[in-house]
Amino acid sequence: MWPLRRPAFTARTSYDTCVDSTQDKERRKKLQKAAGSVEQAGRRFRKAVAKGTLHKLREEAFQLPGITGTEAYTWAYENGMVGRKNGRRLYDQLMAVPEHDTCPLCGQGMVRTLDHFLPKADFAALCVDPLNLIPACADCNKAKGDKAPQTPEKVTLHPYLDNIDDCPWLTARVVRESPTWLEYFITPPGHWDELLTHRTGHHFEVFNLAELYSAQAGRTLNSIRQQLDDLLGAAGFQSVRDYLEGEARTRRAARLNGWETAAYQAWAKDDWFCAGGWTDI
């Protein structure tokens, strides 16, 4: 959802680093023998990325000779990348990419793990490919699950590959109920094609972002309620709007499509809200 800079090291470098420290000699030899397949799989993966055909990749083309998916994941990723000193350096580099440890998939949670964009068990040759490892919060990792997309519309947004944060697309509206709340939705820019619109909508659903952002906005409103009361009582409607617009500008400068940006913009634009809608409880 929010872009990250691509990893600087290659799939082959990552694999070699993760398997070279394997202590069992026979296992290490077996893993090293499969390095060529890893390199080929990495090229195939990147070619599909460039063509937008990730959904067409089939797991049988991403297996390692003589090594099961579970073995590849356990030996190369769990033992070699997470558990070994040299591989752990690569793991830590990937984990450190998101600014302020913020999950790029939801823009809210704290990065706690690396998510395999294509499932590790099914795409064994990509289990330590840096382009397949997304720093994410635990909730997003769990929500995404371990199923590969079968159609182009079901490919969730990839932080290394999809940069959609160059123009506004996240919108909220005030729901005039008691208590009031915000409804979040996507407003696709005119230059987006139909596929990107569908993919963004699917991403929104998979990670339950509308509900997540609405809950966060509700907490924020509770924290500023007294300030809004004071502004309305002392200087009236326009002072409330001016305050909300100022907060929206501040947050927009930091994150164009952040949930806080959309929240303050929605509150500032709504006459009913600025006239005291938050007090209608």
Q: Read off the pLDDT of residues 117-149 as tens digits, 9 standing for 90 and up.
A: 999 989 999 999 999 999 999 999 999 988 899
Residue with tokens 């906005």: 217
Structure tokens at 224: 């500023």
244 confidence band (pLDDT: 50, 70, 90): very high
CB 19 within 8 A of CB 75: yes
Shared domain check, 129 and 38: yes
Shared domain check, 22 and 140: yes
CB 147 within 8 A of CB 156: no
Which has the closest alpha carbon to 124: 87, 73, 79? 73
Shared domain check, 128 and 49: yes
Residue 3 lies in a domain: no
Give 49's Cβ-side CA count (13 Å radius): 16
Residue 73 lies in a domain: yes
Q: Read off the pLDDT of residues 144-196 as tens digits, 9 standing for 90 and up.
A: 988 899 999 999 999 999 989 889 999 999 999 999 999 999 999 999 999 99
Please list, in sequence order, all residues whose beta carbon lies within 8 angstroms of the beta carbon of residue 24, skipping any fewer than 6 positions away: none
pLDDT given at position 133: 97
Shared domain check, 250 and 121: no
Structure tokens at 144: 């995404």
Residue 281 has pLDDT above 60, yes or no: no
pLDDT given at position 247: 98
Residue 50 has pLDDT above 80, yes or no: yes
Shared domain check, 216 and 118: no
Residue 265 has pLDDT above 60, yes or no: yes
Average pLDDT (39-62) is 92
Asked whether the CA dihedral 189, 194, 196, 197 is positive or negative, the reply is positive
Shared domain check, 122 and 42: yes
Residue 45 has pLDDT above 80, yes or no: yes
Q: Is 158 helix (H, G, I), strand (E, B) or coil?
A: coil
Residue 10 has pLDDT above 80, yes or no: yes
Shared domain check, 59 and 83: yes
- The whole domain housing 215 covers 170-279
pLDDT given at position 255: 92
Structure tokens at 52: 């937008």
Shared domain check, 149 and 96: yes
Shared domain check, 174 and 150: no
**What are the percentages of helix, strand and coil residues in the chain, rounded to 5?**
60, 10, 35
Asked whether the CA dihedral 39, 40, 43, 44 is positive or negative, the reply is negative
Question: What's the structural domain count of the chain?
Answer: 2
pLDDT given at position 280: 67
Shared domain check, 34 and 135: yes
Average pLDDT (48-68) is 91
Residue 159 lies in a domain: no
Shared domain check, 215 and 179: yes
